[in-house]
Amino acid sequence: SDILFGLIKEILAKRTGLRVVIMSATLESGKLGAYFDCAPLIQVPGRLHPVVVYYTPEPVSDYLETAIKTVLQVHLCEAEGDVLVFLTGEQEIE
């Protein structure tokens, strides 16, 4: 992201009519605003939601199959809500 911000800053210097919006929950907004020549900052308060994390007690040979089974079990047995699963790459996601 550092290289990208450097490129954006160079482009903004050349194209004065261009407006850029950067959104992030983790960037330090003060430092980022200062880097972009005291750019205006808008902060929107976030919301916290309860999170339950499930782990396998031991490593599994097929983590994708195990993740799918776990999601189905959560869907069938738990109260309504959202499920977020982290996968390692595009192939697993597809």
Residues contacting 8, CB < 8 A, separation 6+: 20
Residue 64 has pLDDT above 80, yes or no: yes
Is residue 82 a contact partner of residue 68, using CB atoms and an 8 Å limit?
no
- Answer yes or no: are the C-beta atoms of 83 and 77 closer than 8 Å: no
- Averaged pLDDT for residues 73-81: 91
CA dihedral 51, 43, 2, 10 (to 10 degrees): 150
Distance CA 21, CA 4 (A): 13
Q: Which residue has the tokens 């599994």?
A: 60
| pLDDT tops 80 at residue 44 | yes
Q: Mean per-residue pLDDT for 83-90?
A: 88
Q: How far apart are CA 65 and CA 10, in angstroms?
A: 46
**pLDDT above 90 covers what percent of the chain?**
35
